[in-house]
Amino acid sequence: MANDGAIFISIDDNEQANLKLICDEIFGIRNFSAILFWRGMHTVRNSSKDFNKNTEYTLCFSKYKSKLIPNSDSDTLDKAKELIKGM
């Protein structure tokens, strides 16, 4: 991974916690950026038997977090936008 690189890993709720622990070991806890989550369905299937399990998680880690998070400098923000477009 490049010094200003990041990795986004998508996983379901069954292994999300284990993946976070593994990535903490590989990339270091300080380089954890975020857990992004989204619901796979717009409507929730509620039932009296179970909870809704339509959530996907995306873990984001970077090699050097300080190089990933943009500051208020407009050049840095433009660079961040270009990086996101390329993903």
Residue 1 forms part of a structural domain = no
2 against 26, higher pLDDT: 26
Would you place residue 2 in the very low, low, confident or very high pLDDT band (cuts 50, 70, 90)? confident
Tally Cβ neighbours within 10 Å of residue 61: 23
10 belongs to a structural domain:
yes
Q: Which of 32, 2, 30, 6 is nearest to 19 (CA)?
A: 32
What count of Cα atoms within 13 Å lies in the side-chain half-sphere of residue 79?
12
Total number of residues shown for the chain: 87
Q: pLDDT digits over 17-66, tens only?
A: 999 999 999 888 988 888 888 766 655 565 556 666 677 888 888 877 77
Structural domains of the chain, count: 1
Q: Within a domain: residue 58?
A: yes
Domain for residue 70, yes or no?
A: yes
Q: What are phi and psi of 29, to 5 degrees?
A: -60, -35
CA distance 31 to 4: 11
Q: Quick one: DSSP state of residue 29?
A: G
Can you give the residue range of the structural domain that contains 79?
6-43+52-85
